[in-house]
Amino acid sequence: MMVESFYKNILDKVLIIEKAKKDLSRQILLSKGGKKRLNFIRQFLQYEVDKHELFEHAAVVAINNKDAKVLKDISLLYMVDDEEKVLSVIRSEIGINRRFMENVKKVISYPQFASFTERRLVKEIEKYVIEKAKLYNSM
């Protein structure tokens, strides 16, 4: 029962993050590009990391307390059939988003030192986040 209460608190925090992402998505879509948009994209990615970290904490608590219901819920959110692999999937998502953020930060802070590949990657990240922002805006 304690794990379920903790999980409910995590879900409440995730809802707050999702609301912030929806608000930020509007700003992403309204901005014309450049550093301002990249800063919004960096913030969007940070919200993604925060959300995944919250789910990671919930999964760890559920595993340690052997709470199958909470672990199953988290597994369904991440579309993982094997509940034992849910932590690795969550950590993978965190790692991917952090790497995206690092590239975006580098292009914002030191554009002259960013390689062609890094600039191109940031363009693709920008497209990806814009598509996600469109989804958030349609909800």
pLDDT tens by residue, 125-136? 999 999 999 999
pLDDT 10s digits, 113-122: 999 999 999 9
| Amino acid letter, residue 134 | K
Model confidence pLDDT, tens digit, residues 65-100: 999 999 999 999 999 988 889 999 999 999 999 999
CB 88 within 8 A of CB 79: no
Percent of the chain whose pLDDT exceeds 90: 91
**Which residue in this structure is represented by tokens 């930020």?**
24
Burial class (CB in 10 A: 0-12, 13-18, 19+), 130: middle
Task: Indicate the DSSP class of residue 84.
Answer: G
Mean pLDDT of the chain: 95
Q: Which tens digits make up the pLDDT trace of 39-70?
A: 999 999 999 999 999 999 999 999 999 999 99
Please check whether residue 74 is in contact with residue 62, taking contact to mean a CB–CB distance below 8 angstroms.
yes
Give the per-residue pLDDT at 139.
Answer: 83
Give the model's confidence band at 104: pLDDT under 50 very low, under 70 low, under 90 confident, else very high.
very high
Name which of 72, 128, 134 is nearest 97 in CA terms: 128
Amino acid 133 reads A
